[in-house]
A = this chain, B = another copy of it.
Amino acid sequence: MKITIYDVAEKAGVSISTVSKVLNNQQVGKKSKEKVLSAMNELKYKPSVLASALTGKRTSTIGFLLPDIANPFIAEMARQVEDRAHERGYNLVICSTDFRSEKEEHYVSLLRQKSVDGFIFAGGFKNRNVVMELLKENVPVILLAAEPHPNLTVNTVTVDNFVGGYEIANYLISQGHKNIAVIAEDATSSQERIRGYKQAMQDHSLFVQDEHIMICNSSVEHAQKLTEAILDTPNPPTAIIGANDLLAIGILIGAREKNLVIPQDLSITGFDNTLLSKCCDPTLTTVDQPIQSMCSQAVNILLAEIEGKHNTRQKILVLPKLIIRNSTCEVY
């Protein structure tokens, strides 16, 4: 029932290899080409990607590994990447890994069996070994908004998280805050953000209390819990930095639970400039990542490698932008 290249060939009165040639637009006589084309139309022929991939062609699908597609920042990236990839004829198969090593490994293995053409790791990952393995076997890979582990020579597009962390802390300090806490995920990009924060504190001779750097899973609830806990401390911070907008929302809710008025009683900042940061009240001071440009560059680099043009690996670091909104103010 499925109609194949043979049907087209027969109808057009040529051989299958001629059909194949027009499919891949190689040299074919004008007449033959026309006959083939119209046969294809009449039969509504659609070539099988499976068969063509089996002979060494691409599948035109790429594996998109991310911590959690339900995370708004990730989802926004997914949309951008999807659109850019689709413009070039590629589809995305998404896999949420929850930062779990086994999941990453499992998904990569599965997708390789399905012969995806390459991988994008977006928003962070845990298992550097799977990446190294991929690299070793020359499978195209790129990290997007995910900090490359230092000794991993892999294509990367990321915002400068260190600068982002620095700027947001610096801003808070300029507003008179001296006692600033951080709530962050256990992810490499958060680590960079924290490093930036520490640097800023140090540059202003401020003391960083270790208990004020809290590691949190990715849930709003956990951030809220941690916030309530630290607010009950004898010497609570006057500002809390959330390592992403989602966590900042958790902080917001926690603070509200403690009857604090934001930002008067507590300044709160996020990171990523997601929809969330614009919708909550007060709107969040946060750090913008230029998602569009990052995603389009990532897709370009990956596809260039897949399509065999060019091949020099690169790390692209884009600059973040501080977005000041209403969740922060001068300390009283």
- A: which residues have CB within 8 A of B? 46-51, 53-54, 59-61, 68-72, 75-76, 78-79, 82-83, 86, 91-96, 109-115, 220, 249, 252-253, 275-276, 279-282
List, in ascending order, chain B residues with CB within 8 A of A91's CB: 93, 95, 110-111, 114
CB distance from A233 to the nearest CB of B (A): 25
Give bound CA distance, A76 to B76, whole Å.
13
Counting from the closest, the 5 A-B pairs by CB-CB distance are A281-B281, A70-B79, A75-B75, A93-B93, A49-B114
CB distance from A130 to the nearest CB of B (A): 14
- Whether A61 lies near B280 (C-beta < 8 A) is no
Smallest Cβ-Cβ distance to A106: which chain B residue = B86
Give bound CA distance, A71 to B46, whole Å.
32
Give bound CA distance, A96 to B95, whole Å.
16
Option from B46, B76, B82, B83 in Cβ contact (under 8 Å) with A109: B46
List, in ascending order, chain B residues with CB within 8 A of A68's CB: 79
Determine which residue in A93, A113, A279 has the highest number of CB atoms from chain B within 10 A of its CB, and name it: A279
Give bound CA distance, A91 to B64, whole Å.
11
Determine which residue in A49, A54, A252 has the highest number of CB atoms from chain B within 10 A of its CB, and name it: A49
Option from B50, B94, B110 in Cβ contact (under 8 Å) with A114: B50
A-B contact pairs, 17 of them (CB 8 A): A46-B109, A50-B53, A50-B54, A50-B115, A51-B54, A61-B114, A69-B78, A70-B78, A72-B72, A72-B275, A79-B96, A91-B114, A92-B94, A275-B276, A276-B276, A279-B280, A280-B280
Beyond the given A93-B93, A281-B282, please list 17 additional residue pairs across the A-B interface where CB-CB is below 8 A.
A46-B112, A49-B114, A50-B59, A50-B115, A69-B78, A69-B79, A69-B82, A70-B72, A70-B79, A71-B75, A72-B72, A82-B94, A83-B96, A91-B95, A275-B276, A276-B279, A281-B281
